[in-house]
Amino acid sequence: MPNDVISAVRDELTAHVDEATKNSYNRFFKEEVSFYGVKSATVGKIAKRFFADIKDRSEDEIFALCEELLQSDYTEEAFIAFDWTDRLHRNYRPSDFETFERWILMYVNNWAKCDTFCNHTVGSFVEQYPKYVQNLKTWTQSDNRWLRRASAVTLILPARNGMFLDDVFEIADLLLQDNDDLVQKGYGWMLKEASKAHRQQVFEYIIDKKAIMPRTALRYAIEKMPDDLRRTAMQRDTKK
């Protein structure tokens, strides 16, 4: 018998299906995606409301509820699971990394799940336990496209705050010529966020790599730079 909290969450999602949202959902994904069609703001409110009912349970119990949600494959249920894990960030333990890695491998199957989980939960974990940045570097070599994207998007918020610059460059190097456009967009986004605190260093990195950096990644990386720097970065070296 499903957990009462899980059943209540699913009933609430079903009650808030929005036909316009449902009809537009597939525009955002190349993959086949399972979804109810609930507005993201509504999903956030549902997550917050039901977390109040479980917040006094142990981390292991809450993680078990999250995994039950993830097993359904519904994107909105994954968003709620990842909202709950993020709310536990002050209590993360080093052993949680293994759980997070397993969840990416087993349950993350589109960019929205990847980014929601990694930007917040996994990013917060790495800020607390910086040695695990080395594990992100091993993800860059995975056959799993979402684990490779995760290696970059996990550092989005830390990089925006000026952290892990050397690791950002190393991960970008490891992903530099990845053929997957969603991985290219992921590390380009990571570089863009790093440029907010370290514009000159990131610009110099891009200039050094632009001859071999895929255009998709390059455009993402320079998106927030001044016009003159963007023009310089987009110029191909015709002397080679």
- pLDDT band at residue 237 using 50, 70 and 90 as cut-offs: low
**Distance (Å) of CA 89 to CA 98, 118, 127, 136, 224:** 15, 12, 10, 19, 29
pLDDT digits (tens, 9 = 90+) for 193-217: 999 999 999 999 999 999 999 999 9
The rounded percent of the chain whose pLDDT value lies above 90 is: 90
3-class secondary-structure state, position 198: coil
Confidence (pLDDT) at 51? 98
pLDDT digits (tens, 9 = 90+) for 42-84: 999 999 999 999 999 999 999 999 999 999 999 999 999 999 9
Write the CB contacts of 196 (distance below 8 Å, at least 6 apart in sequence): 160, 224
Q: Which residues of 97-115 are buried (b: 16+ CB within 10 A; e: fewer)?
A: bebbbebbeebbbbbbbbb
* Tokens 């589109």, located at residue: 110
Rounded to 10 deg, the angle between the 199-209 and 227-234 helix axes is 20
Q: Does residue 3 register a pLDDT over 90?
A: no
More confident residue, 32 or 80: 80
Q: Do 122 and 154 meet the contact criterion of CB atoms below 8 Å apart? A: yes
Confidence (pLDDT) at 90? 95
Confidence (pLDDT) at 33? 87
Confidence (pLDDT) at 131? 98
d(CA 2, CA 122): 27
- What backbone torsions phi and psi does residue 159 show, to the nearest 5 degrees? -65, -40
- What backbone torsions phi and psi does residue 92 show, to the nearest 5 degrees? -60, 145
Q: Does residue 240 register a pLDDT over 70?
A: no
